[in-house]
Structure 1
Amino acid sequence: MTCWLTPQCILQPTSADDVSKAMLLTSYIGNRFAVRSGGHNPNIGFSSVGSEGLLIDLSRLDGVSLSPDGAHAVIEPGNRWGRVYQTLASDGRMAVGGRANDVGVGGFMLGGGLSYWSSIHGMAFNKIVNYEVVLGNASIINANRTHNEDLWWALRGGGANYGVVTKFNVETVENGQIWFEGLLIDSSETEKFLEVAVEFAAAAENDPDASATYNLGPGGGAVYLAYNKPVARPSIFSPFYKLAHQPLFNSTIGTWLDYHNAVSALNPFGSLRVSISVYDRKWEKRSREAAVLLALSKRPTASWKS
């Protein structure tokens, strides 16, 4: 998605054994290498390596399987969350995962994993019970509470540099009935919007079923509201409705999967890079304006009051 650098070679493994062989190869020839799951991170070099190295693209490691009792799932890192959700929801289950369908599994899990329901379930790594990992010496091991505990601890939010994870064994949750709605907040309400967000954060400490996710840019803001019960417009969200707004998606009683699909429809695959360029242009304009104001504030004949 955001592989801004062009590698010398791309390898697409289909098993942990393939990844192990890749580790042996890179060690033997001494090449630089990078590993990519979904490539969602837009920073240059985070999802690839330049012409001097090898890119290990995990997109063909895309298995998703559910245990017979539905309590656990094995998810491979080449998946994106939309596919994972769709697969698990067909059996009435869900995973605690990314907030957009096109986010890759690997980077999200290894970065900790902030979800819509972190107030209930914690970070996504709290649901991981085992990692299958290929180490730099090409060995394939498992890391969990009883085997390789130090590595298991480090992988829980410690990033992607400890090894190449080829399977995540996770606890699943029910794809239950919830309420959700999306609001587009007018740009004239930016200050008040921030105040309401702060008020909500304080109130939500006593109501972990409530979730609000924000986007704020030069043209206004958006908030995605959700409640982990089939209760329409709970009172904890009332302050948001007092702001000037338009609907992004309507008040709905549905499932977790329905909510993810509603949000992801507003952020189609491939839109991130376009959004970055738009915000960059507006940010440059704001920066120039701020520089002028700062210069004026330092003139002996001018004053600046907060």
Structure 2
Amino acid sequence: MQMPSFAFPAIRQDTNRATWPTETFGRAPYKPFLLLAVLDLMDAGRITENRIVPDDDLTDAFMLYWNAILPDRLRPSLHLPFFYLRTDGFWTLHPIPGKTLLATEPSSWRNVRERYAFASLNEGFFEHLKNPQKRATARLNLIRRSFAPVLEKLLLDLANTQLSAFDYADILLRETPALYEKAVEKPARDQAFRRVIVKVYDHRCALCGIRIISPDSRTVVDAAHIKDWAVSHDDSPTNGLALCKLCHWTFDSGLVGFDDDFKVIVARSITRDGNLPGHIQQFANRPMIMPERECYYPATDNLAWHRQRYKLG
């Protein structure tokens, strides 16, 4: 039996071979990345109605492709394809109630979120894409039209990573985490763990409290394991902290830790060898910035393991 097929119409893309690599045929890949992200969210059950919301799930899905294919090129300007896909005849923007549907280009992804409640696909297209087999053929057709053959397997693998990561993240966010029956590949684990920890700490560093999200939705925080994954094989929120880059390095180096009351311990060694620790010493005895829900609080056993490893306290 022949697989049912569906393909997106041709889409307009900026062509500039001086800017874009041969792997994208010298064309801007913003729109293909966004459409691939939409297909991923449909596969993961995140989009079940014809409403494509400019939320964190869409951001993460888009960024997985950007970081894998073009990590060092320009800005990952998700606001551009979200806005300009409307010129391709199958994508409609819906303003937030009370807002005007502006014709001017949004200045950032944050600006998109301030303007638009969601985008929708042509209703007939959406009905086609609800069929998993048609989604699969639409994905493959989009990849082959938009990217060189050398990227095909990578892009299909990224879609599988995306689906596994969403599935695994759902498991990790349960109040009583269940054992995950299937083996999870490292890329999916990393993606899911980062997504979960950033979410439960609401983009705020557990040590210094900084919370910055760039206009393009890049967050200042990383996801850090408390007890090394190689030892614990534990990706649950109770074994994670959201930490900014400096605090992440400081924690992983054993220069700071937390006691069982979630207060900061600063290593005595931090002032040796001419070090000037600046504000880090001021964190001593300060309370950790905690997740909102108690079920996601760091496990004291994990905090104790970290203290013992670095002889803190």
State TM-score, norm by structure 2.
Answer: 0.28
Between structures 1 and 2, the one with greater helix share:
2
Between structures 1 and 2, the one with greater strand share:
1
State TM-score, norm by structure 1.
Answer: 0.28
